[in-house]
Amino acid sequence: MATYRIGLPADVPLLVEYWHAMLVECGLQGSGFVSDWRERLTQTFESDMAMESGVWFVAELERRIVGTCTVFFQTGRSNVSLDQTAMLAGMYVPPAYRGQGIARGLLERAIAYCRERGVKTIRLNASDMGRPLYESAGFVTATEMMRLNLS
């Protein structure tokens, strides 16, 4: 059975690899990646951890990280709402560990963490594979739109 904890700076190299794997698996790589994508993600994740604007949750089996997801707290110059919101992102469980409830465990912990911090709304972009999990946890489809290929 998996155990869960908050990710640490020492976990960042694997968190970066899982984030990349999630992007590729979901077809979100667009035209590809910059050559220094690992370094950029590493710097961003370390900075988000240090500023506590991002919190990573990890699942472990036998001391090996087998899943992760991230909560980013929505702050910044355009946030004028009194209600705190968060973005759930980077949910990833390697194929060999799927079907064991790991993603659900990560999601439950992320939701509980947000609730404890007074977050009123959690947003996310669901993959086709992830949509049933999120719907079963009470997430609903909203009105976001996107235009691709502006060339």
Q: Please, is 123 exposed, middle or buried when counting C-beta atoms within 10 Å of its C-beta (0-12, 13-18, 19+)? A: middle
Distance in angstroms (rounded) separating the CA atoms of residues 124 and 101: 19
Average pLDDT over residues 9-33: 93
Q: Does 149 reside within a domain?
A: no
Average pLDDT over residues 33-47: 95
Question: What are the tokens at 59?
Answer: 């699942």
Question: What are the tokens at 115?
Answer: 């609730």
Q: Please, is 102 exposed, middle or buried when counting C-beta atoms within 10 Å of its C-beta (0-12, 13-18, 19+)? A: buried
Q: Does 144 reside within a domain?
A: no
Which pLDDT belongs to residue 76?
Answer: 57
Range of the domain at 119: 3-136
Q: Does 100 reside within a domain?
A: yes
Residue 60: band (very low, low, confident or very high) from pLDDT cuts 50, 70, 90:
very high
Total structural domains in the chain? 1
Residue 29: band (very low, low, confident or very high) from pLDDT cuts 50, 70, 90:
confident
Q: Does 150 reside within a domain?
A: no
CATH at 87:
3.40.630.30
Q: Does 148 reside within a domain?
A: no
Q: Does 11 reside within a domain?
A: yes
Q: Does 93 reside within a domain?
A: yes
- Exposure string of 30-63, with b = 16+ CB inside 10 Å and e = fewer, is eeeeeeeeeeebbeebeebbeeeebbbbbbeeee
Task: For the chain, report the end-to-end CA distance as a whole number of angstroms.
Answer: 48
Alpha carbons within 13 angstroms on the beta-carbon side of residue 61 total 14
Q: Dihedral through CA 67, CA 108, CA 26, CA 14, nearest 10?
A: -30
Q: Does 16 reside within a domain?
A: yes
pLDDT greater than 60 at residue 33: yes
Q: For the segment 62-87, what is each residue's pLDDT rounded down to a tens digit?
A: 999 999 999 998 765 556 667 788 99
| Residue 119: CB atoms within 10 Å | 18
Which pLDDT belongs to residue 78?
Answer: 59
